[in-house]
Structure 1
Amino acid sequence: MAENDDVILHLTGVRKTFGPIVALKNMNLTVRAGRVHTILGENGAGKSTLMKILAGVQLPTEGEIRLGGEDYYPRTPQEAAARGLAIVFQELSLCNNLSVAANILATREPSRMGFISERKLLARARALIEELGLPVDVNARVADLSIAQRQLVEIAKGLSHDGRVVIFDEPTSSLSDSEAEILFDIIGRLKAQGKAIIYISHRMEEIMRLSDDITVVRDGEYVTTVKKEETTIEELIALMVGRRMEEIYPPRLGPAPDPAMPPVLKVEGLTRPGAFRDASFELRPGEILGFFGLIGAGRSEVMGALFGMLAAEGRVEIDGKPVTIRSAAEAIAHGIGFVTENRKEQGLVLLHSLRQNISMAALPRYSAKGFLRARAERETAHAEVDRLAIRTGSIETVTGTLSGGNQQKVVLAKWLATKPRILILDEPTRGVDVGAKFEIYRIIRQLAAEGTAILLVSSELPEVLGLSDRVVIMSEGRMREAAARDTLTPERVMTFATGQF
């Protein structure tokens, strides 16, 4: 077989501009059958723009794209799918009010005489779910699913198209380790079938596990392509961000909180039937308390109850005084901030500017006698943009136009602007590249050093163990263990998380 016989997708000199803004400068890519080709780059490097071009959402300004040896310039997602390209997007594209089955087969519902056959719809969706091995009920309404379960539905929706090229854009960003293993098995089967896989992820360990070839992009431009076995994580990070990182998790700034110190937050017997029960823990100023568990463990639901988003029974004390929090406004008044895992629906107003999003949770700080103090609002927005290294041309930029990672940093900036005493971080680095992760970790460490009490929920076990002072491990809605970080190993954590204790 000639060297190029297995090339399915080939890009040369692809460029994309939006007026004076250059999103892609010079993109080159060669993707081969039966191989996993990872595209690696920081947020804003141009990966999302490239995926939209391949998916038929946008056309390139310049350059050549060939699929199966023929010119490939799809003008719609339907045309891209018809040509053999399937894509699983990072940002969920589901209709929350419809069932899992209806979402998976949207626009391709089996019908007769203009009427959709519900029986055939459910049967086809169920067959696909069973083939993929996904733990999702096809009858369930998407709005009732967790973010991780919705991500599994997004994966099924993408794979319902039989593509020669299958693109996975941050598919594990909201999956726990066990669900990620299901995905990795699926990718292995697709690879064995001769599919060409394009994989986008910021998780370096899974990149080194899955990839055959890795293309690094920076600032919208192709840097290099390397074989996985010929590189290291350290070399890839240096290529991606233009610098080396000696440590991903920065060290604690100062001593850990004294266990004898009075807690700023005390929770006793917090219960929400069907979600979690008897959650009890304490949190001290300057402490980072990690929460780890698999999908359905109840971690995010506990945080939602503490923030007044979900009704729950139990006792909550702040500074030793009982409090009842029935709304987000009451939580904010008590000094609690909440970076939610679902930034699109709960964290941001995507049509508003960065300035408006950053200030919206702390508007009383920028008002006097009913009038907005615009200068103070702008100063805070500029300070938080600089503090978190948010890539934007202006604080007036529409937030929805930013990359996913930069949107996540805007959510964090919004809550930092409230100067919270207790900060809940639910998957704070979901969809964030390794360079941006380091900046967020640095901010978390700085906040803890300044006395902010932090509740950290993460599906990334290295993240929980790398940042937390203590770790709460949950399984099936119950706290199974709470221990100091230095007494835990990954194996011990997973033993409790999987209910094998």
Structure 2
Amino acid sequence: MLLSMQGISKAFAGVVALKSASLEVEPAEVMALVGQNGAGKSTLIKILTGVYRRDEGSITFNGRNIDFTMPAEAQSAGIATIYQEINLAPQRSVAENIYLSREPKRFGLIDHAAMRRGAEAVLKTFNLSIDVDRPVAHFDAATRQMVAIARAVTQNARLVIMDEPTSSLDEREVAVLFETIRTLKRSGVAVIFIGHRLDELYAICDRVTIMRDGQTVAKSPMADMPKMALVRHMLGKELAAFQAMAPDQDVPERPARLVVENAGAGVRVRDVSLTVREGEISGLAGLLGSGRTETARLIFGADRMQRGTIRMDGKERVYREPADAIADGIGLVSEDRKIDGIVPDMSIRENMTLALLPKLKKAGIVDRARQDEIVTRYIRALGVKCASPDQPIKELSGGNQQKVLLARWLATDPRVLIIDEPTRGIDIGAKSEILKLLRNLADEGLSVLMISSELEELLAAADRVTVLSDGTSVATLPRKDLSEAALLSAMAHQVAPEGEIA
């Protein structure tokens, strides 16, 4: 065994990030490390590489117990980490990047000729022949990945950790990277491959370790782990009690309000089509990295759509910025309310009316009477539990913060509300309340696009669900066809026999 991490636990300010997690890697093996956001993958790797100190557990690497206190110690021991945002000096040459801080010297000076020969030799092992005197900024993403890998190899790495290495690569570049990983295996180097694209995991990885909620929930050879089983381990189960909230399966189809056709931008959104109908909750599902949030940003005008069309009530629209979408009746409650949603030091009143401020101003002064009327109405209507409208929003519970954000957009009288992970980080009672609230809003005529990584939420609340995989819409399931098996099959991008879950 090259690496063994056992019983690893870590808490931050009383919040448990890891609970008795484990990970083992054999020499010359590619280990997939997978899990949704917050599963604990990054924390586990940071403990291994000395960024964090573990609270409990043991780690052995290359036959000895280790307890690194800084990343440099892990690097010296033979562990190299290549992050999603490749850590290279873009204006320095390929050779300089490969030997950065370890330059060969002659008579006390950098031996550029030796550095050039060494860089060319190590890249040749990956069948890469490039001008190593050129700055790395002049090369594509796949070449930069290989430069980072070459640097790891010249450091005599026994284990290379790759964090989402294919996220910005096209198909040709992925093929080049995978051949490089196979070369590493042949030379005895092990790889931890952190990724989310299932086809890629099955193409390059020997075994898989699956994490959820800070724990290791499954380990298996890739060949013995069907895609649907892998997805189910990643997602788990939590909200089965909400199934009683599910809408009527026999509601007639309503007119389309928002139609997105063949939307694309870069590699994160390749070809997405979906429909949000009047008075319905349309779900948007998919694993981490499937393009759900990126699709919402395109619709809202936060990112520029490069191809495809958007129609509102049958009329084609182009949203160049969020103000265009807001003016056309679209609101977006973002995935991370603490970063993109609330302004923590501002009051409930101020947070709730942020999007409405242009309409509340007269001669540049906020109409306080109108503001008070709107805030009071929505606090009452949504059941926001607070001391007063002037209470700082940071003092509220997660569920009540989410209600304030909902109120912010409802006050703009939207026709379409996009809500990304509506119940993330709130307790189960508040989750039920938020979903019931969305159901009531839809029943009153609002069109809701609900993005969720929780299967039970989608089964409980959605009238139809569009499933994304690798930036492409792969299935749209109407209410009558919605089931856990159907969603898992679509998310795993395969068709299972009816009623069967691998």
Q: TM-score, normalised by structure 1?
A: 0.55
Q: Does the 8 A contact of 2:145 with 2:177 survive in 1? A: no
User: Partners in 2 of 1:225 and 1:327 — Cα distance?
Assistant: 44
User: Partners in 2 of 1:392 and 1:125 — Cα distance?
Assistant: 53
User: Using a 3 Å threshold, how does the CA distance of structure 1 residues 224 and 265 change in structure 2: closer, same or farther?
Assistant: closer
Q: Of 402, 405, 408, which residue of structure 2 is paired with 1:382?
A: 402
Counterpart of 2:433 in structure 1 is none
Instruction: Identify unmatched segments of 5+ residues in structure 1.
Output: 1-6, 246-252, 276-280, 291-299, 395-415, 430-435, 470-489, 491-501
Q: Of 49, 58, 66, which residue of structure 1 is paired with 2:52?
A: 58
Aligned length: 392
Counterpart of 1:160 in structure 2 is 151
User: Using a 3 Å threshold, how does the CA distance of structure 1 residues 42 and 330 change in structure 2: closer, same or farther?
Assistant: closer
Could you tell me which amino acid in structure 2 is paired with residue 382 of structure 1?
A: Q
SS in 1 for 2:152: coil
Q: Does the 8 A contact of 1:214 with 1:226 survive in 2? A: yes
Could you tell me which amino acid in structure 2 is paired with residue 466 of structure 1?
A: A
Q: Of 165, 169, 182, which residue of structure 2 is paired with 1:171?
A: 165
Listed one character per residue, the Cα deviations across residues 478-498 of structure 1 (whole Å, up to 9, x for unaligned) are: xxxxxxxxxxxx9xxxxxxxx
User: Partners in 1 of 2:91 and 2:69 — Cα distance?
Assistant: 27
Q: Of 19, 25, 34, which residue of structure 2 is paired with 1:31?
A: 25
User: Partners in 1 of 2:112 and 2:333 — Cα distance?
Assistant: 41
Could you tell me which amino acid in structure 2 is paired with residue 60 of structure 1?
A: R
User: Partners in 2 of 1:257 and 1:102 — Cα distance?
Assistant: 62
Listed one character per residue, the Cα deviations across residues 390-428 of structure 1 (whole Å, up to 9, x for unaligned) are: 24689xxxxxxxxxxxxxxxxxxxxx9xx99798x9xx8
User: Partners in 2 of 1:465 and 1:282 — Cα distance?
Assistant: 9
Once the two structures are TM-superposed, the CA of residue 446 in structure 1 deviates from its matched residue by 3.6
User: Using a 3 Å threshold, how does the CA distance of structure 1 residues 64 and 140 change in structure 2: closer, same or farther?
Assistant: closer
Could you tell me which amino acid in structure 1 is paired with residue 27 of structure 2?
A: A
User: Using a 3 Å threshold, how does the CA distance of structure 1 residues 306 and 228 change in structure 2: closer, same or farther?
Assistant: closer
User: Using a 3 Å threshold, how does the CA distance of structure 1 residues 81 and 352 change in structure 2: closer, same or farther?
Assistant: farther
User: Partners in 1 of 2:162 and 2:124 — Cα distance?
Assistant: 17
Counterpart of 1:407 in structure 2 is none
User: Partners in 2 of 1:103 and 1:389 — Cα distance?
Assistant: 48
Alignment map for 1:53-452 (pairs within 5 Å):
53-90=47-84, 92=85, 94=87, 108=101, 124=119, 128=123, 131=126, 139=135, 141=137, 153=144, 156-157=147-148, 160-162=151-153, 163-243=157-237, 286=277, 307=301, 327-336=321-330, 350=339, 363-365=354-356, 369=367, 373=375, 381-383=401-403, 388-391=422-425, 436=453, 438=455, 446=462
Once the two structures are TM-superposed, the CA of residue 85 in structure 1 deviates from its matched residue by 0.7
Q: Does the 8 A contact of 1:39 with 1:200 survive in 2? A: yes
Indicate yes or no: 2:460 matched with 1:466: no
Could you tell me which amino acid in structure 2 is paired with residue 190 of structure 1?
A: L
User: Partners in 2 of 1:72 and 1:264 — Cα distance?
Assistant: 55
User: Partners in 2 of 1:55 and 1:192 — Cα distance?
Assistant: 24
Q: Does the 8 A contact of 1:36 with 1:198 survive in 2? A: yes
Listed one character per residue, the Cα deviations across residues 366-404 of structure 1 (whole Å, up to 9, x for unaligned) are: 98736795966766643579964424689xxxxxxxxxx
Q: Does the 8 A contact of 1:35 with 1:196 survive in 2? A: yes
User: Partners in 1 of 2:352 and 2:128 — Cα distance?
Assistant: 41
User: Using a 3 Å threshold, how does the CA distance of structure 1 residues 265 and 203 change in structure 2: closer, same or farther?
Assistant: closer
Say which is worse superposed, 22-31 or 155-164, in terms of deviation. 155-164
Q: Does the 8 A contact of 2:402 with 2:422 survive in 1? A: no
SS in 2 for 1:161: helix
Once the two structures are TM-superposed, the CA of residue 209 in structure 1 deviates from its matched residue by 3.5
Q: Does the 8 A contact of 1:86 with 1:166 survive in 2? A: yes
Once the two structures are TM-superposed, the CA of residue 68 in structure 1 deviates from its matched residue by 0.9
SS in 1 for 2:192: strand
User: Using a 3 Å threshold, how does the CA distance of structure 1 residues 286 and 34 change in structure 2: closer, same or farther?
Assistant: same
User: Partners in 2 of 1:420 and 1:128 — Cα distance?
Assistant: 57
User: Partners in 2 of 1:73 and 1:209 — Cα distance?
Assistant: 33
Could you tell me which amino acid in structure 2 is paired with residue 390 of structure 1?
A: R
Could you tell me which amino acid in structure 1 is paired with residue 42 of structure 2?
A: S
User: Using a 3 Å threshold, how does the CA distance of structure 1 residues 39 and 56 change in structure 2: closer, same or farther?
Assistant: same
Could you tell me which amino acid in structure 2 is paired with residue 161 of structure 1?
A: A
User: Partners in 2 of 1:176 and 1:468 — Cα distance?
Assistant: 29
SS in 2 for 1:25: strand
Once the two structures are TM-superposed, the CA of residue 69 in structure 1 deviates from its matched residue by 0.9
SS in 1 for 2:28: coil
Once the two structures are TM-superposed, the CA of residue 437 in structure 1 deviates from its matched residue by 6.8
User: Using a 3 Å threshold, how does the CA distance of structure 1 residues 327 and 97 change in structure 2: closer, same or farther?
Assistant: farther
Q: Does the 8 A contact of 1:39 with 1:216 survive in 2? A: yes
User: Partners in 2 of 1:106 and 1:350 — Cα distance?
Assistant: 38
Once the two structures are TM-superposed, the CA of residue 176 in structure 1 deviates from its matched residue by 4.5
User: Partners in 1 of 2:113 and 2:252 — Cα distance?
Assistant: 57
Counterpart of 1:10 in structure 2 is 4
Q: TM-score, normalised by structure 2?
A: 0.55
User: Partners in 1 of 2:98 and 2:337 — Cα distance?
Assistant: 29
Could you tell me which amino acid in structure 1 is paired with residue 474 of structure 2?
A: L
User: Partners in 1 of 2:212 and 2:74 — Cα distance?
Assistant: 26
Once the two structures are TM-superposed, the CA of residue 198 in structure 1 deviates from its matched residue by 1.7
Q: Does the 8 A contact of 1:98 with 1:141 survive in 2? A: yes
Once the two structures are TM-superposed, the CA of residue 283 in structure 1 deviates from its matched residue by 8.4
User: Partners in 2 of 1:392 and 1:467 — Cα distance?
Assistant: 28
User: Partners in 1 of 2:277 and 2:113 — Cα distance?
Assistant: 54
Q: Does the 8 A contact of 1:57 with 1:77 survive in 2? A: yes
**Fraction of identical pairs, as percent:** 23
